[in-house]
Chains A and B, each alone.
Chain A
């Protein structure tokens, strides 16, 4: 019994894995063509659920996300382009709804901030490293003299 259970579980897992491709084919696709289905999947992963805010429309269980998915589906079926669908949602909810907002004046800081911060970090790191290196190379003791901690030197 105790030896057979893991074997049974293994067999079940293998069976499930073998059945997976068929399960996909059997499940009713939401869109009439594979191309539309692919665009639908990509779109719902790129929009933010406005209620949960850190989840995509694809992963969100709330009903507003379901309404938005339905709207995307209907627009795709009506022949709208991805660009038109993005415009539709951005016009109503702002760039916040896109996980990948476009590079425009309003969002420039968002895209540039990481680079700017990295540059500041790199420059200050280089500055500190160079200064330390120069201290060692020059064996400049003045730095240690005026900190008031090198006691013996103060009392010659």
Chain B
């Protein structure tokens, strides 16, 4: 009896492993960032809107902020744009833009057409700053706390669901801690 049952049992185990692999395993395209829990790379970059000005995240020390990596060439960023505007509208946290490998004129046109959710936008046409942040696609969004530590990284366009599930709890928990 056992010798008929054993292959079936092994098969059942393999089915469970494969089902887990297909549905539960972390997605291979979402590579966890080693920068979580580490100080955010400090940058001083030209401002997108005004090349004579600079945008520096040192000035944001003491405040929560989101760093959103985007570009006009990035189709997923267009999907994300309405949600970013909604986030900016709530006023929960300032959104800082990192315009990645883009042209200034295209970016300005894009923002004029679709609205600008960003408090400030750093311009990174060469893409070096994105490498410092471990960016490998757009959009990517980082949550940085008042101590300048990267708390979380979200890969892909932020959806309303992701905002309430992945962003708000982290920002609220942190605000009550800093508020007390």
Contacts and interface: CB of A to CB of B under 8 A. Distances in A.
Interface of A: 50-51, 53, 63-64, 67-68, 71, 90-94, 96, 147
Interface string B65-106: 000000000000000000000000000000000000100000
Nearest to A91: B34
Contact of B132 (A63, A92, A147): A92
Nearest to A96: B31
A40 B3 CA distance: 57
Main secondary structure of the interface of B (DSSP, over half): loop
B62 interface: no
B31 A92 contact: no
Main secondary structure of the interface of A (DSSP, over half): helix
A143 B111 CA distance: 78
B136 interface: yes
Contacts of B133: 92
B179 interface: no
20 contacts: A50-B136, A50-B137, A51-B136, A51-B137, A53-B28, A53-B29, A63-B101, A63-B127, A68-B131, A71-B128, A90-B34, A91-B35, A92-B131, A92-B132, A92-B134, A93-B31, A93-B33, A93-B134, A94-B134, A96-B31
